[in-house]
Chain A
């Protein structure tokens, strides 16, 4: 069924009796050519691009819980391509271009809203760093504008410009950045992949890999054994647990990152505003809630919930940046589990096991990367060669010294 304005009109006039489930609930078959583990954004996008762009068939996505119940439903919905390093920026700009055409491609309203993302600067040194990053973005075909203090004030007059510790002296703006309705991304990819014959199997947890002489032959699951030609893992947050079943140790720690949303307010925050110096960023959802977050709690966790000191830290950041936030009441807060890699950048690569491929280490940048991650992973699975924009995301880069460390933090995952 194709979604359209006409369809809504027709269904509205006929009692909404014609809508059908957006995807099937198939039983797992005995064997597939391509098995994707993880029915989140990245796994579903991978399956979609495998079927659509690379014309592959016999594809299944295995999800241990329900579709889109992991990090695709637990983030703060921001898209941007404001990176600096060569290994990253072309990839994220590719992702941004895919976001821009996503809804037409999927025939699904994902509420892609390019309302802009503004990084605030507070010192000459930080502004210089932003100028450099902005130039790197421009050289990779992205958009970037350096704003003066007055330009920022015009855009967001409610900020505390004369904060004693971090007075605002300007900012780096990417107008094409913005927000996307995160659940709709999972649903849109699922529906589009299902339409192209991909089996999406929910409540199917992988419990082990079956191998034959260093080559993968299939996976054991809670719904029985499934044979597979190639297996792609896209379970960021739980990558170490899954890959341990294949005998691998990863350059990854799992950490909890919290996020918050307030009651609905009238429109006040124009786009996404980040206050890196104060560990705080904020946007406003279409329902009106202020969606904000800060830094990691900072210790290994799989708990999907954080602790109060981080809540306090984020609230302090919010009050320092925009004191009006103190009048808003908090509606919900939650935590998601991040694959924090050793250089803050992701991994999309083959593994030492033939037929087993790995996608993970997304740190807290996974959501914005969803389309490009799926595309690049599908490219790798289909052709056994990395996509041109993802060639630096090697699993062995920590051994060879080719790290992609945007923040220059070294092998200290809780600081990236």
Chain B
């Protein structure tokens, strides 16, 4: 698989390590009254779709950036690659 890095261009997927569903960016609020339930959901439950999947890849052998890769789990085709930082900022994360 070739991941088209937004800053570095096409890179071999072997340079990256894989974390999982991009929903892991959305860490629950530990102060919420139902934080235990929310963290259970966050940490352990997955949509695990057969088809389009947004997932986190880390460019470990490269520029050490986290990417959100949209990839089809049935064909391994990659349709979109974003910097995870931009994704997090767009949903209201702090710089």
Contact = CB atoms under 8 A, between A and B. Distances in A.
Given A298-B18, A300-B20, A300-B53, A250 B45 contact: yes
B13 interface: yes
Interface stretch (B27-35, B72-80, B85-93): B72-80
Contact of B45 (A249, A307, A309, A412): A249
B47 interface: yes
A414 interface: yes
A97 interface: no
Best-surrounded residue of A299, A309, A412 (most CB of chain B within 10 A): A299
Nearest to B55: A300
Contact of B50 (A299, A302, A411, A414): A302
B46 A398 contact: no
B44 A398 contact: yes
A412 B44 CA distance: 9
A271 interface: no
A13 interface: no
Given A240-B47, A254-B73, A301-B76, A309 B14 contact: yes
Contacts, number: 68
B8 interface: no
A299 B45 contact: no
Interface in A380-416: 398-399, 411-414
Interface residues of B, number: 26
Contacts of B37: 399
Contacts of B76: 301, 303, 307
Contact of B74 (A244, A303, A309): A303
B73 A411 contact: no
Interface in B9-24: 12-14, 17-21
B70 to A, nearest CB: 12
A342 interface: yes
A223 interface: no
A206 interface: no
A90 to B, nearest CB: 25
A399 B73 contact: no
A63 interface: no
18 contacts: A238-B50, A240-B47, A250-B48, A251-B44, A251-B45, A252-B48, A253-B48, A299-B18, A300-B20, A301-B73, A301-B76, A303-B76, A307-B1, A309-B14, A398-B40, A398-B43, A398-B44, A414-B18
